[in-house]
Amino acid sequence: MLLRQRPPTPPAQTRPAAIRVVTAGLVLPLLVSLAGCNGQRLQPMLRPLEGTVYIAVGVSEDAIDGELQKEIRARTAMLQTTFRTLQPKIRLQVEVFPEENLPNELRLRNSTGLSPDLLLVNESTARDLVRERLIDTVSFPAALLEQLDAGSVVRVRRTDGTLTGLPMELQPQVACFDRRRVDRSPATLSELLALSAKGMEVGLSLDAVNLAWTLGPLGAIDAVSSLLARQPVTPVTRQGLESWLSWLRQADQQQHVTFYPTEPELLKGLIAGTLDWIPCRSINLSRVKARLGKHMGVAPLPSGPHGSASPITRERVLAFGVNSSPVQRQLALALARFAISPLHQRDMILRSQFVLPVNREVAPPVRSSSVVAAMVVGRQQSMQRATIRLVEGSSKGQREAWQALLTRFLFDDLSPQATLTGLIELLSGGRSR
């Protein structure tokens, strides 16, 4: 049995000791950094730069998971390793953010002085961030920009000649399938439905950006373009959209075609074996490849009666934060130049990162790789349909409304006529950017 008496009052002199410990813990790193700073000022000009570069990678909120984070960290580690041949004392610290939340995130970070030095984001996001003055614009020599994909450079160039960011890589949309169950990817939309009728499990996403590839083959691309450009609604516009909606309904009625809200669900289905054929962004191929291995098949997306597919190619750019120290900015610029150098761009392709280079001096190996060939076709298809960029540039609210409208339509909650009216209203009136 224990007999417990009232505990004695602890001595009061522990607080100053605790304060001393806390002070030492906080002040020491500060002094070390200050010392390092003074040392940097005294360094010779040719001495390598030293410091940490913070990189924020924006990805779709639905896609963030442990596996994606690992992929991004692995890619950053690879970039760090190769870049250290130039700047041996650099350290890259990467953070992954939902791209939709980046404006709010940057507002907070900028107010504290803790914004990232570099951001790897979609070109449309970089444009918005510059408009809100949440990132800095940059200038690069014309000679360097001439090496890059002309279309990509045009889209990042502002009227004053500065850039919203530096194009780094292209992520086209392609068809991805399991070779164990699909011998050959369908070349047309009719063939897609025919194969699904024979048992091929097809997964499609209702997300506007992911479904945009079906607009071109079904003759709705011009209708969408004219509506986004706020041109008057004509019978041709209606007809184009009607035929597109009709095909969606027809596909939905197929037993082996399933619509999902977002692309990550399609990928999970393909990896799990519940789906055989899906449209997917090229950057996600590495994850599919890791699971399916040699059974992963990649092909261009199917065409239709009105032409080839109209997929959207994500153009990823390197944007620059506003709080960088002079050394960090120098490092960020050096890193950006390195990322678009032929050396690194070629390395990206050879290491199967499933992106296309923006540097024109690097030719994608289309003859040796059917995957790269399909990606190149996907890129070309997206360039033919430049107005699709407007869809990509739509707001999150618009895309959610689009998805909700199509979901109700496919569940027979909305008639084709009501859906058509809603779609026209959404595309013509809701364009905020």
Partner 1 sequence: MSELLMEIVGWFGYLQRFDVRIQVLLLLLVFLGQGVLRRRLAPRFPPAGHPRVVIPSLLGLLALVLGLGGHPYGLLLLGLLLYLGWLGLEGVRGLLVRFIEPQQIQLLETRLIRPAYLLIAALLVIRVFDNPQDLALIPIGEWFGSEVTLGSFFLAVLIVYVLAMGTGPPAQGMAWLVQRSVGISNGSRRALALMIRYAAVALGIVWALDHVGFNRTAILAVAGGLSVGLGFGIKEVFSNFVSGLWLLFEGSVRPGEVLFIDGDPCEVRSLGLRAAVLWRDRDNAELVIPNQTFFTSTTVTYTGSDTLRRSQVLVSAAYHHDPEEVIALLEATARSQNRILPTPPPKGLLLRYGDSSIDYALRFWIANPMDNVSICSEVQAGIWRAFRDRDIEIPFPQQVQYQVEGPPKS
- Exactly one of 39, 47, 88, 93 binds partner 1 (CB under 8 A); that residue is 93
Q: 39, 48, 113, 199: which one contacts partner 1 (CB under 8 A)?
A: 113
348: CB partners within 8 A, 6+ apart: 169, 355, 357
Smallest distance, Å, CB 11 to partner 1?
A: 19
CA terminus-to-terminus distance, the chain: 76
φ/ψ of residue 166, rounded to 5: -105, 120
400 phi, psi to nearest 5 deg: -65, -40
User: Per CB under 8 A, does 51 bind partner 1?
Assistant: yes
Among the listed ranges 111-119, 160-168, 274-282, 392-400, the one in contact with partner 1 (CB under 8 A) is 111-119
- Residues 129-148, one symbol each (x = binds partner 1 by CB under 8 A, - = not), give --------------------
Per CB under 8 A, 35 contacts partner 1: no
34 contributes a contact to partner 1 by CB under 8 A: yes
- Shortest Cβ distance from residue 1 to partner 1 (Å)? 5
Task: Decide if residue 29 touches partner 1 (CB under 8 A).
Answer: yes
- Closest to partner 1 by CB, 19 vs 197, is 19
54 belongs to the binding site for partner 1 (CB under 8 A): yes
Q: Which is nearer to partner 1, 320 or 402 (CB)?
A: 320
CA distance 318 to 336: 7
Inter-residue contact 53 to 91 (CB < 8 Å): yes
* Binding residue for partner 1, selected from 79, 96, 176, 423, defined by CB under 8 A: 96
Yes or no: say if 387 and 224 are a contact pair by the CB < 8 Å rule.
yes
Least distance in angstroms from the C-beta of 344 to partner 1: 22
- Alpha helices (H) in 43-167, listed in sequence order: 66-83, 102-112, 123-131, 142-146, 150-156
Q: Three-class SS of residue 347?
A: helix
| Burial class of residue 402 in the structure, from the number of CB atoms within 10 Å of its CB (0-12 exposed, 13-18 middle, 19+ buried) | buried
Q: Write the CB contacts of 165 (distance below 8 Å, at least 6 apart in sequence).
A: 119, 121, 123, 126, 135, 138, 156, 317, 318, 319, 320
* String of DSSP letters for 190-212: HHHHHHHHTT--EEEE-SHHHHG
- What CA–CA distance (Å, rounded) separates 187 from 394? 29
Which C-beta is closer to partner 1: that of 161 or that of 326? 326
Question: What whole-number distance in Å separates Cα of residue 127 and Cα of residue 310?
Answer: 23
Q: Does residue 244 touch partner 1 according to CB under 8 A?
A: no
Contact between 74 and partner 1 (CB under 8 A)?
A: no
Closer CB to partner 1, 73 or 431, in the complex: 73
> Residues 58, 75, 79, 97: which binds partner 1 (CB under 8 A)?
97
Q: Residue 125 is encoded by which pair of tokens? A: 């996001």
Kindly state the smallest distance separating residue 324's Cβ from partner 1, in Å: 7
Q: Which is nearer to partner 1, 55 or 292 (CB)?
A: 55
Min dist CB 132 to partner 1, Å, is 16
Decide: 398 and 430 in contact? Cβ < 8 Å. Answer: yes
Q: Which is nearer to partner 1, 77 or 194 (CB)?
A: 77
By beta-carbon proximity to partner 1, the closer residue of 51 and 302 is 51
Strands 277-281 and 173-178, by their bridges, are antiparallel
C-alpha to C-alpha distance for 272 and 13, rounded to whole angstroms: 62
Number of other residues whose CB lies within 10 A of the CB of residue 66: 7
Total interface residues for partner 1 by CB under 8 A: 41
Does position 60 bind partner 1 by CB under 8 A? Answer: no
Nearer to partner 1, 104 or 384 (CB): 104
Out of 66, 141, 235, 293, which residue is the one contacting partner 1 (CB under 8 A)?
66
- Rule CB under 8 A: which of 324-343 touch partner 1? 324-325, 327-328
As measured in angstroms, the least distance from the Cβ of 136 to partner 1 is: 14
Residue selected from 1, 45, 154, 272 as contacting partner 1 according to rule CB under 8 A: 1
CB 301 within 8 A of CB 309: yes
- Report strand pairing: 89-98 vs 50-59: parallel
Interface with partner 1, residue 114, by CB under 8 A: yes
| Binding of partner 1 by 9 (CB under 8 A) | no
Q: Which helix (H) or strand (E) holds 307?
A: none
Using CB under 8 A, list all residues that contact partner 1: 1-5, 19, 23, 26-27, 29-30, 33-34, 36-37, 51-52, 54, 64-66, 69, 73, 91, 93, 95-97, 105, 108-114, 323-325, 327-328
